[in-house]
Amino acid sequence: MGGLVRRSFLALGAAAFAAPSAFALFRSEWAAIGQYGDKAAPLTVFEKDDALHIDGAGHASARLTPTERGRYAIAGGGELALEPRAVRLNGSRLAFHDFGAETEAAIRAGVSADPEALRRQALAATPPVETGDFLSADLVDLTTVDPRIKLDIRYAGANNFMGIPLYERAAAYLQRPAAQALRRAQDALSAQGYGLLIHDAYRPWFVTWMFWEATPPDAHMFVADPAKGSRHNRGCAVDLTLYDLKTGRVVEMPSRYDEFSGRAYADFVGGTTKQRALRAVLREAMVAQGFEVYPEEWWHFDFRDWARYPIGTRTFTELGSK
C-alpha cells in the first residue's frame, strides 16, 4: 500500500526482533507503522528521528524505547507491545486498521449496484444558481504547460475510490492563471529533482454530485457539497503529487491519493520522516505560487482566485472539441 513501509505482521515477534544488526532491527520495527483501534480516535504508530513513536490515546508524539523483543517503554509512562496485526497498549489490544481502504470498499460496493443509474441522476441534476461578476472560463490543457508535468488521471479509469470511470478521457485543465502558477511551481521543484504528477484538476459538476451521493456522511469532508460546488468545478483546484525526475518513480507520501482517512490530512503526524518531508516540499512549492492546501487532503491545492470563476459543467468530450 502506498505511503507505508509495511511487511506482514506475521513476520514480527521473536524472529523479527532478534535481527543481528541495528539496521535490520530498525527496518523490522517499521512494519508496525500504521493506525490501530477506533476510527474516531485511532492510535498512530509512526517513525521519527529513527525511532518509533505513538500519537493518540493520551500520548502526543511519544517516543518508544525497546525494552525486549517486541516491547517498548513509552516516553511519559506506559508500555506498547507488538502483535500480529495489532498492538497492545498497557495491556489493551488494539487491532490494525486501514481505515481508508475500509471506507473505499464500502463506497465501491454501493456504486457497483447500479453505476449507470447514479450517472444518469447526476447528469439530470441541476447545478446551483450563482450570482456575481465572474471571470470568463479560460481552461488550459496542462499537458501544454510544461513537459515535466505528467498525468495520472484516476477518474478516467477504474483506479479510484468509486471504482468506475468518471471522465471520458484522461485530461487535466486549469484556469490560465492557475496553470501558469503551476508551471512556476514545477520550475522550483525541478531544482530539487522533482516533477509534478497530476491526478485531477477541473472536474465537471455532475461528477461532484456523484461523489457526494456515493460517499457516506462521515467521510463528506473528503468530497465537495454539490449544492455549493467544488473548487475543482471552477478549474482552480488541482490534486497532485511528486515524482523523481531521474527515475520517474512516484514518491511515497504519508497516505495514498484519495484515501478517506486521517492519514490524508495535510498535517497528519504519522508515516515516516521522509514521507512527511516530501509532503512539505510539495506544499511549500505550491503555496509559494498562490495555492493553498486543503487541510484534509495533502494532495489538494486551491488557487487563490478560485472564487472569481463560476461552476463549470462542460464534460471532457466538450472541452476536447473546442
CATH number of the domain bearing residue 262 = 3.30.1380.10
Encoded amino acid at 49, one letter: D
The mean pLDDT of the chain is: 92
Same domain, 139 and 215: yes
Cα diameter, the chain: 69
Task: Check which CATH number belongs to the domain holding 72 and give it.
Answer: 2.40.128
Q: What is the pLDDT of residues 80-98, one digit of tens each?
A: 999 999 999 999 999 999 9
Q: What is the pLDDT of residues 237-267, one digit of tens each?
A: 999 999 999 999 999 999 999 999 999 999 9
Same domain, 75 and 181: no
pTM beyond 0.85: yes
Same domain, 158 and 247: yes
Same domain, 172 and 303: yes
Same domain, 143 and 196: yes
Domain for residue 109, yes or no? Answer: no
Mean pLDDT of the region 12-38:
62
Domain for residue 145, yes or no? Answer: yes
Domain for residue 3, yes or no? Answer: no
Q: What is the pLDDT of residues 133-157, one digit of tens each?
A: 999 999 999 999 999 999 999 999 9
Give the structural domain span for 219: 114-125+134-320
Q: What is the pLDDT of residues 90-122, one digit of tens each?
A: 999 999 999 999 999 999 999 999 999 999 999
Same domain, 121 and 89: no
Same domain, 54 and 197: no
| CA dihedral over 266, 268, 270, 272, signed as positive or negative | positive
Domain for residue 25, yes or no? Answer: yes
Confidence of residue 15 (pLDDT cuts 50, 70, 90): very low
Same domain, 80 and 118: no
pLDDT surpasses 70 at 11: no
What local confidence, expressed as pLDDT, does residue 27 receive? Answer: 64
Domain for residue 108, yes or no? Answer: no
Same domain, 89 and 164: no
CA angle 103, 296, 211 (to 5 degrees): 50
CA 104 to chain centre: 13
Domain for residue 16, yes or no? Answer: yes
Q: What is the pLDDT of residues 164-216, one digit of tens each?
A: 999 999 999 999 999 999 999 999 999 999 999 999 999 999 999 999 999 99
Encoded amino acid at 193, one letter: G
Cell 521519527 found at: 48
The residue count of the chain comes to 322
Active centre residues (catalytic):
297
Same domain, 160 and 282: yes
Domain for residue 63, yes or no? Answer: yes
Same domain, 229 and 295: yes
Contact 199, 153 (CB under 8 A): yes
Q: How many domains does the chain have?
A: 2
Give me the helices (H) in the chain, please: 22-29, 99-112, 115-124, 176-190, 205-214, 273-287, 316-320
Same domain, 223 and 275: yes
What local confidence, expressed as pLDDT, does residue 255 receive? Answer: 98
Give residues with Cβ within 8 angstroms of 26, minimum separation 6: 50
Domain for residue 105, yes or no? Answer: no
